[in-house]
Amino acid sequence: MKIKGLKGRDVITTLFKHGKVVKAPPLLIRFQKNNALPNLHIGVSVPKSKLKKAVDRNRVKRQLRAILRKNNAAVWDAFEQTGHHGMLLYLDNKIPESTVLESHLLLLLKALKEN
């Protein structure tokens, strides 16, 4: 199955108000069960307060999306038990290497599965 982007102001606002949080620094994921969305929807965000340049924020977002696509089975396995949509946030002040970011994401998915 395909992971789709999380879109819509109402869905994202509800997720931030009522969703649960799992942290594995420098990543954080907010998730919520939603039976209205038939597929898995994940949004990726890098706050402007952490990385000032848009070029840097876009690079980290591209890296995160690529890692999500690469580890599709692990993502589906983690979200199958917890919910059907979430928002992935990067909360560090420097640009990471892809291998380091991937290891942090796998730790986050493991924590999400245990939660």
Distances (CA, A) of 51 to 4, 61, 77, 81, 98: 25, 11, 30, 32, 16
Ordered domains of the chain (ranges, CATH): 3-114 (3.30.230.10)
Instruction: Specify the DSSP element, H or E, that contains 24.
Output: strand 20-24
Each residue's pLDDT, cut to its tens digit, for the chain (115 residues) gives 678 888 899 989 999 999 899 998 899 999 888 766 667 889 999 999 999 999 999 999 999 999 999 998 888 888 875 557 899 999 999 999 999 999 999 999 998 888 7
Q: What is the pTM of this model?
A: 0.88
Instruction: Specify the DSSP element, H or E, that contains 58.
Output: helix 54-70
pLDDT at 82: 55
